[in-house]
Amino acid sequence: MRSIAKTLPCLIVLFALLSNTSFAQYPGMAQVYRNINAQFTRQMMNMNRTYMYGNAQVNQEYDFLVKMKDSSKRTVSSIIYNDTIKHKNYLLFVDKRYKRSDSAHRFIKIYADETISIARNISPPGPGSFRPNYIPPPPTWYTGISADSCWMFKGESGQISAYSSLSDYSEDDAIVGLQLGNGSIIKYNHDNLKNMISADTDAMEAFDKKKYYKAIKRFNSSAEKASKK
C-alpha cells in the first residue's frame, strides 16, 4: 500500500499533463497517454486488494466458478472487489486476448446481480499432489449466492446462520445476512440480530461489547446444548 500511495500522485500529475491538448499533440504521445491511463487503472484496482485481519490474510484471489443469470458458467480468478460508487461487489475477469494497454476490453467487471452464484473449490490437495500423475480429489464447492449487491457465503451454521460477503472471512465486518432456523435470510443489522438473541444473556453480553459474530456463536452453542437435554 505504501508503494501505491507514493506512485499514485505521480500518475495523477502525468495523467493531467498528458490530457493537455498542447502537450498530447507531440508524435508518439498518444500511445504514452494510453499506457499511463492503463497503469493508473491498474494501480486504482490494486488498492482494493487483500488485507490483513489479525494474522490472517483475507479476501485472497481464488478461482471462482461463476454461474451467470443466463445459466452459462465461467471460471474467474479474482478477489472480491467493492465498487464504492455502485455499492456492489464484483469479480474482475481478465480477458487476455486484449493487451494490457486496452483496459476497456481486457478488464471485465462481473457484478453480483449479474450472477446466480459463485463458488470455489475448498477441497485440500490429496497426498502425492506434487507427482505428475496426481489425480485431485472431487471438488467441494463453497458457494456464495447472489444477493443483488453482494454474494453471501454461509460462515456460521446453527440455530442462527450468519452469511458473509467474503468466502474466507466470517467475522463482524463481513456479515451481511442472518437466518433463524429454516426461515428466510434477512439483512444483517444490529436490531435484527438483537431480536434473535435477546433472550440469551450470554450472547447479549458479547453483543453489548460489539462482538456480534461471537454473540451468534454463543447463541448457537446455547441452543445446541438445550436441544440435547
pLDDT-derived band at 7 (thresholds 50, 70, 90) equals very low
The span from the CA of 216 to the CA of 190, in Å, is 12
What digits encode the pLDDT tens for the residues 87-116? Answer: 999 999 999 999 988 888 899 999 999 999
The pLDDT score that the predictor gives to residue 56 is 60
Helix (H, G, I), strand (E, B) or coil at 167: coil
Helix (H, G, I), strand (E, B) or coil at 182: coil
What digits encode the pLDDT tens for the residues 28-63? Answer: 545 544 544 544 444 444 445 555 555 568 899 999
User: For strand 81-83 and strand 88-94, is the pairing parallel, antiparallel, or unpaired?
Assistant: antiparallel
pLDDT-derived band at 224 (thresholds 50, 70, 90) equals very high
Contact status, residue 91 vs residue 80, Cβ threshold 8 Å = yes
Grid coordinates of 205: 453480553
What digits encode the pLDDT tens for the residues 156-167? Answer: 999 999 999 999
Please give the angle made by the CA atoms of 116, 88 and 147, to the nearest 5 degrees. 35
For residue 2, which of 54, 40, 59, 43 has the smallest C-alpha distance? 43
Q: What predicted TM-score, i.e. pTM, was given to this entire model? A: 0.73
| pLDDT at residue 5 greater than cutoff 80 | no
- Phi, psi at residue 88, to the nearest 5°? -135, 150
Domain spans of the chain, in order of start = 2-47, 56-188
The pLDDT score that the predictor gives to residue 18 is 44
Q: What percentage of residues in the chain have a pLDDT greater than 70?
A: 76
| pLDDT at residue 145 greater than cutoff 90 | yes
- What are the CB-based long-range contacts (under 8 Å, 24+) for 99-104? 100/38, 100/42, 101/31, 101/34, 101/35, 101/38, 102/38, 103/37, 103/38, 103/41, 103/42
